[in-house]
Amino acid sequence: MKVWSHQTIEAFEVLQKHGVLRGERKYVDQDFVHAYDVLRDMMHERLGPPPSPDSYPIWVWVRGRSGKRYGGRKPTSRYKGHVLLTLEVPEERILVSDFHAWHSCLNSRALCVFESEEDNHYETLIADLPQFDARRTSLIRDTWWRITDLSWCLRHVYESENPKTMWLQGTLWEIRQRDVVKVEHLQYARETWEKHLTTRAY
């Protein structure tokens, strides 16, 4: 599968030096650790265990706006001083999910379709008020698996029948040097979002 990943020059140098690049928990924005932990559990279940206890997802783009492949439309304006890596990675090493649905996880919101589904959740919560907060968190997180159900996302997030409308992202445990088929050094002028990167050390 062809995918694309933005990385800092420092991360790329680690990849060149050690032959592998991995994410670490210490580089995850603390406001979003809860969502990353759930995604990490999904990866463990679907892809197998992480290479180390501290390993966290590395992000790649599978498809961007209007169904265009990310490497072909130069979606790089906010990544000055970074590299864009074009990768060829076996599908069994990538967990593909929907970019827009993922934001429900980041914002601690349930991925529900109908108000009735949310109402059922709250009826369950009210029945056990002493455990309200813990049960609420559990019920919300139980809906997050839907980010990987691309058919569900197409129907309920995009309200479309055309899969090319979707923004698809992927996560993997590591980028290996042999995965890299192209390297582009980016020189665009807009500010970077370095605090959201999770791949500064192998």
Q: Is residue 87 part of a domain?
A: yes
| pLDDT the model gives residue 164 | 82
Q: Is residue 65 part of a domain?
A: yes
DSSP assignments along 151-201, one per residue? HHHHHHTS--S-GGG--EEEEESEEEGGGEEEEEE----SPP-GGG---S-
- Give all strands of the β-sheet with 95-98 in edge-to-edge order: 95-98, 168-172, 58-63, 2-8, 82-88, 180-185
Would the pLDDT of 20 be above 90? yes
Question: 163: domain range?
Answer: 2-109+159-196
**Residue 195 CB-density burial (10 A; 0-12 exposed, 13-18 middle, 19+ buried):** exposed
Q: Is residue 11 part of a domain?
A: yes
More confident residue, 150 or 75: 150
Tens-digit pLDDT profile for residues 130-175: 454 555 677 788 888 999 999 989 988 888 888 888 899 999 999 9
Q: Is residue 138 part of a domain?
A: no
What gap in Å lies between CA 60 and CA 175, rounded to an integer?
10
Domain total of the chain: 1
Give the least confident one: 33-37, 166-170, 172-176, 193-197: 193-197
Q: Is residue 13 part of a domain?
A: yes
Q: Is residue 63 part of a domain?
A: yes
Q: Is residue 46 part of a domain?
A: yes
The verdict on pTM exceeding 0.85 is no
Which 3-state string (H, E, C) describes 106-157? HCCCCCCCCHHHHHHHHHHHHCCHHHHHHHHHHHHHCCHHHHHCHHHHHHHC
Specify whether the CB–CB gap between 197 and 59 falls below 8 A: no
Q: Is residue 98 part of a domain?
A: yes
